[in-house]
Amino acid sequence: MHLAYPAVLAVLLFCTGLYGVLARRNAILVLMSVELMLNAVNLNLVAFDVWLRDTLHAGQALTLFTIAIAAAEIGIGLAIVLLVYRNRGSSDIDRLRDLAEKTGEADAADGTPQPDTKAEATA
């Protein structure tokens, strides 16, 4: 099989993931998009490993490593999303703006009040 097929597929997967990360609002979908990007990289690793005929198969080893890391990452990520949802009743990334720099005018312009964290935490 020519190298172009997996490579093009990887590019498509990566772009899809990138779009998802940048454009989706749901935190879970964002995490899924991150997985897509990771898997695009994995695909590349395996494909180039085969194409280069690496005797040590470093690409495949690294892929396994990446998968393990990704599993851990998605576990923690989903846990965070779950906690955020429990606290705030929403996992909408656009509304998670606690880290925004508060300036007098910017706040007034934003106008979207943050859900009361304390009240949710006790619920």
Partner 1 sequence: MTLTTTAVLVPLLPFLGAVAGLLLGRRMPGFVRPLAVLPTLAAAALTVTVAVGQGGGPATDVATRLTPTGSIPIDLALHIDGFAALIAVLVGVVASCVQIYSTGYLRDDPRYPSYAALVSLFTAAMLLVVYTGDLMVLLVGWEVMGICSYFLVGHYWETETARAASLKAFLVTKLGDVPFLFGIFALAADTGTFRITGILGSVANGGLDHPTLIALLLLAGVAGKSAQFPLHTWLPDAMAGPTPVSALIHAATMVAAGIYVVARLLPVFAASAAALIVMAVMAAITMVGSGLAALAQDDIKRVLAYSTVGQLGYMLGALAVGDRGAAVFHLISHGAFKALLFLGAGVIIHAAGTNSLAAMSRMSGLARRIPDAYWTVTVALLALAAIPPFAGFFSKEAVLGAAEHAAGGAAHGIPGAAGWTVLISGLLTALLTAAYAARLWLLAFKGKGIEAPDLPQALNSVRAGETPIPQPVVMNAVLWVLFLPTVALGLAAPLLPGWFDGRSLAPTLTTSVLGTGIALVGGLVTYATWRHTTALAARTPIGAVVVDPDASPAVAEETAMATHAPVYGDVAGAADPADPGRLLLGPLHRHAAVGFHVDAVYSALFVRPVRAAATLVRFLDREVVDTYVRGAGAAPRWLGAAVRRAQTGNVQTYLGALLAGSLVLAIAAVLVATGTGA
Please give the residue ranges that form the binding site for partner 1 (CB under 8 A): 18, 21-23, 30, 93-94, 96-101, 103, 106
Shortest distance, CB of residue 51 to partner 1, whole angstroms? 23
DSSP E strand boundaries for 11-118: none
Distances in Å between the alpha carbon of 80 and those of 77, 87, 98?
A: 5, 10, 15
The pair of three-digit structure tokens given for residue 91, joined into one six-digit string: 């996992």
- When the beta carbons of 62 and 93 are compared against partner 1, the nearer one is 93
Shortest distance, CB of residue 46 to partner 1, whole angstroms? 24
Calpha distance 123→120 (Å, rounded): 5
Shortest distance, CB of residue 104 to partner 1, whole angstroms? 10
Closest CA to 59 of 38, 44, 40, 39: 44
The pair of three-digit structure tokens given for residue 85, joined into one six-digit string: 């949802």
- When the beta carbons of 99 and 123 are compared against partner 1, the nearer one is 99
- When the beta carbons of 74 and 96 are compared against partner 1, the nearer one is 96
- When the beta carbons of 1 and 101 are compared against partner 1, the nearer one is 101
Cα radius of gyration rounded to whole Å, the chain: 20
Shortest distance, CB of residue 16 to partner 1, whole angstroms? 14
